[in-house]
Structure 1
Amino acid sequence: MMKKIVFYTLVFLTVSLTALFAYKRFINHKSGMKLSSSQGSEESDSVSLDKEQSELFHIAVKRVEKSRFRRTISLIGEVAAVPDRIIEVPARVPGRITTVKFVEGSQVSKGQLLAILDSPDLAKLRSAYNSARTRYSAASQNTERVRNLVSMKLAAKQEEIDSEANLKVIAAELKASEENLRANGLEPSDETSGKYHIYSPISGIVLNRNALPGALVPATQNLATVGNISELWFMAKIFEADLGKVSEGDKADIILNSYPDLVFDGNLEHIGEQVDLASRTVHARLVFRNKGRKAKIGLFGTAKVVTETGMGILVPESSIFKKNDEDMVFVRTDIRMFSARRVRVAGSEDGNVEILEGLDAGDEVVTQGVFELKSLLLKSSFGEEG
């Protein structure tokens, strides 16, 4: 009987001690959970990577410093020729084309022969001029002769008056025939043929050819269009709200849709005086140099007009992510510890974003692996909510 009492007493003590030990472990575990939860709340915007994650994510960081930035306004438009640098070359006289010495795309110089016409009308003009010149010479000599006779009282004064009047009529006819020749681009000469040589009025590129050997052409037909396209216009539109941000003389980068990697240096030359009522925009004219003749008349593109320059902190666009509709970046705080930091941005330019608030020079900002860090950040946030 005594042995049974001792046995039950030992069993009771063992069960009691086991229960007490289990209770203490439960209490300690609950306390630890509360502490861990509190620490997690304090570091809810931080992500810590283990070695394996660090190698897997290929995280890249950049130490940010203040650098020069610029703000721009984008204007949509198209390329246009400078009107004073484009000249059409007409036939001027009707005739038949006998020779053509140019093709579309040819580089021509001022005064270079383009074509030759055979024009009966031109032959008539030249003949009329030479006839008028001969008659003027004869009338001039006759007037001089009559004046001498009148001075010697061998002729009446009326003969001198009639002679001078006839000379004036013939002089007017000669003047008219000279002007007819000059109106067709010719200087008066002894030439009597109908051959008409057409020369380029400027140096440039032949933009268009409308001349075929043997073709009969009227005086109004344009045989060629010659243009100097070393400098072009970019015709754009400025929205009403942006008028106060730009001024004539502002520099601009012009990027055409056909050449997204080529930048043309431009200048905002003129801002229009009238608002288009339909689009609420104002016409703008930019002038730029045509690098390598790449720009073509009529091409569409964008002009980025520089409105402001200065010094500031820039980060790649890939570094910015959204959380709760706020712009944020990850900043490395330790070897494998990253903190999500709220920032205020001004705008982007050339793939970089200007940071107004939230970063200091020397901060190490994540440029690669942002998506992976954001995923871990959101995962930990959801875990805490659960």
Structure 2
Amino acid sequence: MNKNNISLHTLGVLLAPVCLGMLLSGCNKAEVPASKKEAADEAKLPLIREAAGIRLPETSPLRKSIAVAAVTEQTVERAIIIPGTIELDAATSIKVVPPVAGRILQLNKRLGDKVNAGDVLFSIDSADIATAYSDASKAQSALLLAKRNLQRQKDLVDAEIAARKDYEQAEADYSQASSEVGRTKARLAQLGVSKDAGAGHHYQLRSPIAGRVIELSAAQGGFWNDTNAPLMTVADLSTVWMTASVAEKDLPLVFAGQAAKITLNAYDNEVFEGKIRYVGDVIDADTRSVKVRIAIDNKSGRFKPGMYAKVNLSGQAHQAPAIPASAVVQNGFNTRVFVEKTPWVFEPRIVKTGAQVGDKLEILSGLKAGERIVVKEGVLLND
């Protein structure tokens, strides 16, 4: 190897560390500015999504907008709001149907009149009544004749003058006449009259209940020949029913004795109270609902059958986690809240809500009392 080659080789060996140092020095100078740039860029971001959740940097403007509070427990009564209708109480109302045809002689009670049990409602001049009285009189006469004949035949048989078969025939005739008297008396009793009232063709129908005449379909002097149609309706409206339909899914929340608050369209600014008296035993196949009945005191007469109303049923009171409605964020089909895992780090969580009590929502699942959540402007963290 000549002298020139040795010098070049020696120079290369001497310069290699210098170049490597310069390269390393250059690399370090490039890394420091990049790290500072990333930190500066991160400081400008309002939020950073990480594996642990959503982090708000110290300089994030969202820290001033978002509010965090702990989940609390409170007493919750889930309310069910359903439409209802005022109805008559079938046990205290009656459609009065005349049992006989005839001309209406007098209407003793007219529409709106108060009625006491036993009051005469109307009088009818009826041939059917005359026939019933006549049949009863004939049956009584036939019975008297059969009784005399039976006694006579008995005397003859005892004297061995008449045949035994004549006595037996007299017994049969008496039994038949006695049955006919019973039938005619039953007919008069069914019509509401008795044999002791004497013969006649005037019939008076008396009210079996106390109440008020709420329907009238006849006029004085008119002829009534349909014994299946009601001439008038008498009802006791001191108590009426509020009937409402409860959806099948809400049945577990409804029970007899449950308190109800009622608002009627006619008295929109007033709230009336009642209690469920009866929950239906059969589900309507078409509406998938069950009828409930609420008894309402109506001595004031303000509740008119046919009125529409809104019924608010209060569920059984229980303790449950509750959060402000503002804490809930909708994400597609899911309802979410943002739970604070560590200071300014939040985790989105799906929850199931129940009843609303004022401005708070009952939490059925997904949260426990004591957990801290975003209660204001959580939508800013939503995807």
How does the TM-score come out when normalised to structure 1?
0.63
Partner of 1:22: none
Deviation of 1:259 (Å): 2.2
Partner of 2:304: 296
Partner of 2:285: 276
Partner of 2:182: 175
* Cα deviation 1:330-381 (Å, max 9, x = unaligned): xxxxxxxxxxxxxx986446x6756879999xxxxxxxxxxxxx9xx9xxx9
Deviation of 1:268 (Å): 5.1
SS in structure 2 opposite 1:116?
strand
Contact 2:246 2:292 (C-alpha < 8 Å) held by counterparts: no
Q: Distance in 2 between matches of 1:92 and 1:85?
A: 21
Partner of 1:128: 135
Deviation of 1:208 (Å): 0.5
Higher Cα Rg, which structure: 2
Partner of 1:147: 154
Q: Aligned letter for 2:310?
A: T
Deviation of 1:236 (Å): 2.1
Q: Aligned letter for 2:272?
A: V
Q: Aligned letter for 1:305?
A: L
Q: Aligned letter for 1:127?
A: S
Partner of 1:227: 235
Q: 1:92 to 1:206 in 2, by over 3 A?
A: same
Partner of 1:266: 275
Partner of 2:191: 184
Deviation of 1:301 (Å): 1.6
1:287 aligned residue (272, 294, 315):
294
Where do 1:90-129 residues align within 5 Å? 90-129=97-136
Deviation of 1:273 (Å): 2.5
Instruction: List alignment gaps of at least 5 residues for structure 2.
Output: 1-57, 68-72, 337-351, 371-375
Q: Distance in 2 between matches of 1:93 and 1:103?
A: 20
Q: Aligned letter for 2:117?
A: K
Deviation of 1:229 (Å): 2.6
Matched, 1:199 2:206: yes
Q: Distance in 1 between matches of 2:187 and 2:280?
A: 43
Q: How many residues get paired?
A: 289
Q: Aligned letter for 1:180?
A: R
- Residue identity over aligned pairs, in percent, reads 21
Q: Aligned letter for 1:137?
A: L
Q: Distance in 2 between matches of 1:146 and 1:242?
A: 79
SS in structure 2 opposite 1:158?
helix
Q: Distance in 1 between matches of 2:205 and 2:89?
A: 23
Deviation of 1:112 (Å): 0.9
* Cα deviation 1:193-223 (Å, max 9, x = unaligned): 1110111111122121123111111151422
Q: 1:238 to 1:324 in 2, by over 3 A?
A: closer
Q: Distance in 2 between matches of 1:149 and 1:323?
A: 107
Contact 2:76 2:355 (C-alpha < 8 Å) held by counterparts: no
Deviation of 1:138 (Å): 2.3
Q: 1:301 to 1:199 in 2, by over 3 A?
A: same
